[in-house]
Amino acid sequence: MSVAKRPLFDPPIVRRAIGDAFRKLGPRHMVRNPVMFVVLVGSIATTLVLILDLVTGRGEIGFTLHLDLWLWFTVLFANFAEAMAEGRGKAQADSLRASRTQTQARRLKDPKARQNPELVAAPDLRKGDFVLCTPGDVIPGDGEVVTGVASVDESAITGESAPVIREAGGDRSAVTW
Where do the structural domains in the chain lie, given as residue ranges? 11-100, 104-175
pLDDT at 92: 77
Q: What is the rounded distance in angstroms from the CA atom of residue 51 to the CA atom of residue 45? A: 10
pLDDT of residue 67: 96
Q: What is the pTM of this model?
A: 0.56
How distant, in Å, are the alpha carbons of 34, 37, 79, 110 from that of 43?
14, 10, 14, 69
Q: Which fold is adopted by the domain 104-175?
A: 2.70.150
Looking at the predicted structure, is the pLDDT value of residue 133 above 90?
no
Average confidence (pLDDT) over 80-86: 90
Supply angle C-alpha 73, 74, 75, rounded to 5: 95
